[in-house]
Amino acid sequence: MDTLNLLLLCAVFIFTVAVIVMIYLGWAESRFAEKFTIKRRLLYISAGGKHGQEKLARYRSSILKDVGAFERFVFNLPRISALDSLLIKVKFPVNASIFITASIALGFIGFLIGYRYFPQLIAAILLGIAFLFFPFMLLKLAEKKYYYRFNEQLPEGLDLLARAVRSGHALTSGIEMVSKELTDPICAEFAVTIDEINLGLTFREAMENLCARVPLQDLRFFAIAVMVQKETGGNIAEILDNISRLIRERIQFKRQVRALTAEGRLSAIVLITLPIFMFIYIYFVNYEYISLLWIEPLGQYMLFGAAVMQIIGSYIIKRIVDIDI
């Protein structure tokens, strides 16, 4: 067995082990729904927030003290806590270290496959990079869906909060009711906000952390309104009703815009992806023909010009179909 096959088998083994660990953790957590809920809320806080770090540092250390040395090393790297928080949001049954290990193994598999079957080393490197970032792309798509569901639930949560305030509950008690009565994702985010307040953070710091975890403009409107109301006073129930009505109108308008720009967005997808797929197709079908693009000087200029024009065209189409609301 040559060295390339041995490396490929090792990469496949590491990736397979990571997938098995993911499946096992998902099965184990699904058996204990209450334990998973508590662990998720604890990890939300331990993954970090923007405010109140000095009050949460000791608590975060107690959460992470039982993990291994590799886990502690990973969490000391920049942006890893944000990745772990994102994995918790989308209910991915792994932590950041396992996710990174599986991604690296997958990227290595892609590079070895490309190195074995592609005629150019650069093609193997590009395939490895694509495999490396594929799990992260799926994670970002899941995050986008998460924020969309949260924004859809926000008007209902504000209506429930307004009714709770009218019935005599305090604002924090109303937020706790929202965390218990509604479903994910809004219940989980509001539950973390209540946990942070109970752990000693001020209401402003907890709301700032909420807006940092869920960077939505409509949620920022709600946070600013309630913080201003706590300082100046006013009818908070009426304010919540107005914000809820405004968010519903914005959601309806966004849906109308997406319906009207659907044809343009579909045309953009076709125009952007068609040259790329044709390039890949000709690369495999007639390599000698397309290799002139990087062998000949004129072909290199043509390839560079095509890439620049593709980027410019994509930017122009994006500006046409995207409407700021």
Q: Is residue 110 part of a domain?
A: yes
Q: Is residue 37 part of a domain?
A: yes
Residue 232 sits in the same domain as residue 290: no
Residue 68 sits in the same domain as residue 125: yes
pLDDT grade for 46, boundaries at 50, 70 and 90: very low
| pLDDT tens figures, 184-239 | 888 888 888 888 888 778 888 888 888 888 888 888 888 888 888 877 777 888 88
Q: Is residue 118 part of a domain?
A: yes
Q: Is residue 65 part of a domain?
A: yes
Q: Is residue 254 part of a domain?
A: no
Report CA torsion sign: 85, 87, 90, 93.
Answer: negative
Residue 7 sits in the same domain as residue 129: yes
Residues above pLDDT 90, as percent of the chain: 0
Residue 20 sits in the same domain as residue 91: yes
Q: Rounded to whole angstroms, how far apart are CA atoms 324 and 321?
A: 10
The parent domain of residue 202 ranges over 146-248
Q: Does 3 have pLDDT greater than 80?
A: no
Instruction: Name the domain boundary from 218, 248, 278.
Output: 248
Instruction: Name the domain boundary from 110, 141, 172.
Output: 141
pTM of this prediction?
0.70
- Give the CA count within 13 Å in the CB-facing half-sphere of 314: 13
Looking at every residue in the chain, the average pLDDT score rounds to 77
Q: Is residue 280 part of a domain?
A: yes
Distance of CA 302 to the CA centre of its chain: 37
Residue 100 sits in the same domain as residue 211: no
Q: How many domains does the chain have?
A: 3
Q: Is residue 255 part of a domain?
A: no
Residue 135 sits in the same domain as residue 155: no
* CA distance to 280, 283, 300, 322, per residue, from 292 (Å): 14, 11, 8, 37
| pLDDT tens figures, 225-264 | 888 887 777 788 888 888 889 888 888 888 888 888 788 7
Residue 118 sits in the same domain as residue 166: no
Instruction: Name the domain boundary from 141, 175, 201.
Output: 141
* CA distance to 9, 126, 142, 232, per residue, from 191 (Å): 44, 42, 21, 26
Residue 99 sits in the same domain as residue 151: no
